[in-house]
Amino acid sequence: MKMTFRWYGENNDSVKLSYIKQIPGVEGIVWALHDMPAGEVWPIERIEAEKKTIEAAGFNIDVVESVNVHESIKLGRNDRDKYIENYIETLRRLGKAGVKVVCYNFMPVFDWVRTELFHPLEDGSTALHYDKETMESITPRALVELVTKDSKYTVAGWEIERLKELDNVINEYKEMTQEDLFNNLQYFLKALGPVCKESGIKMAIHPDDPPWSIFGLPRIVTNKENLGKILELVDEPYNGLTLCTGSLGANPSNDMVDIIKTYMNRIYFTHIRNVRIDAKGNFTEVSHRTQDGSINITGVVKAYFDAGYKYYIRPDHGRHIWDEQCRPGYGLYDRALGIMYINGIIDCLKKQ
Ligand code: DNO
């Protein structure tokens, strides 16, 4: 297991690389060019500059999260091939720079969705929260306003460019079935085959977060069965998964340990996050510790350990603790605690 930490780039993150270096065991920085609009080719000079900064701080650049997929590809519009070509070129460049795994998602319009970014927890910290009733009564536009107003940073996955055509794009999805979305994903993945094979890049699709349909939009990366179906769309090693325990785990019928054991050999990247689900199905992100939430984090780490998992792992969203001012979910402190918890479980297993 290779421990990594997500970092948004110089002047775009409250956390410094030198701070991350002080967390024991972190080998790699999970990075991206966050200001690149989906569908555009990433400039070589910028990839090189990022690589230089990250490597100079003593980390590898093996994992990119994310190269975002243009809406035309998800919708299967007539102009999708040009965006797929651009995606391929970006992968070629990333491969040359030494990137090994590219995380992406295939969620229509929205990336992850929450109704509150700074929900108070009983310990005085705050965390990301999802309220079902709010989601059922709010319009997409009002949700964007509600969620982005409290953050001084852009919220990754909620980039302005992605959301500016919100209403039009949502309408375009109206007629679309889950099957259509699977087909469009297959078309996209097949086209990436040659570049992935030539550059050794593994594609790792991120689960839908939360793993159910929102605003009537189709969502397919939601459960064990669909993950299996996605792997079969192109049954080759380059087509793999990002396993995010907090995304999939927000649905209590997703048994994370079972899912991980089933797809272990195609999971190239893992996000460890705990959520506490209440009786109504609302959920709040909590500390990584197993007993603080609804997900068996200890069991998850053990499943990876037992399998001799050799790919990448990172602590996912943390709470905002100790008055830290940071990107929502992406502070230094709670994610560092998360790493030490994971490190602790692993060391304990090693000793046994
Ligand atoms: C949220 C993240 C997601 C993830 C993308 C991957 O914090 O887990 O935004 O990066 O869905 O494409």
| pLDDT tens track for 131-158 | 999 999 998 888 888 888 877 776 666 6
- Known catalytic residues are 206, 244, 271, 316-317, 330
| 129, containing H or E segment | strand 126-130
Residue 24 and residue 18 in contact, taking contact as beta carbons nearer than 8 Å: no
| pLDDT tens track for 244-301 | 999 999 999 999 999 999 999 999 999 999 999 999 999 999 999 999 999 999 999 9
Alpha-carbon distance 290 to 338, whole Å?
11
Domains of the chain as residue ranges with CATH? 2-351 (3.20.20.150)
Residue 329 CA: nearest ligand 1 atom is 7
Alpha-carbon distance 183 to 121, whole Å?
41
pLDDT lower than 50: segments of the chain:
none
What's this model's pTM, rounded to 2 decimal places? Answer: 0.96
Residues having CB closer than 6 A to ligand 1 are 65-66, 103-105, 111-112, 156-157, 206, 317, 329
Residue 42 and residue 93 in contact, taking contact as beta carbons nearer than 8 Å: yes
Distance 4 CA to ligand 1 centre (A): 15
From 111, 128, 130, the mutation candidate for ligand 1 (largest count of ligand atoms within 8 A of CB) is 111
Alpha-carbon distance 106 to 94, whole Å?
20
The two structure tokens encoding residue 141: 């536009």
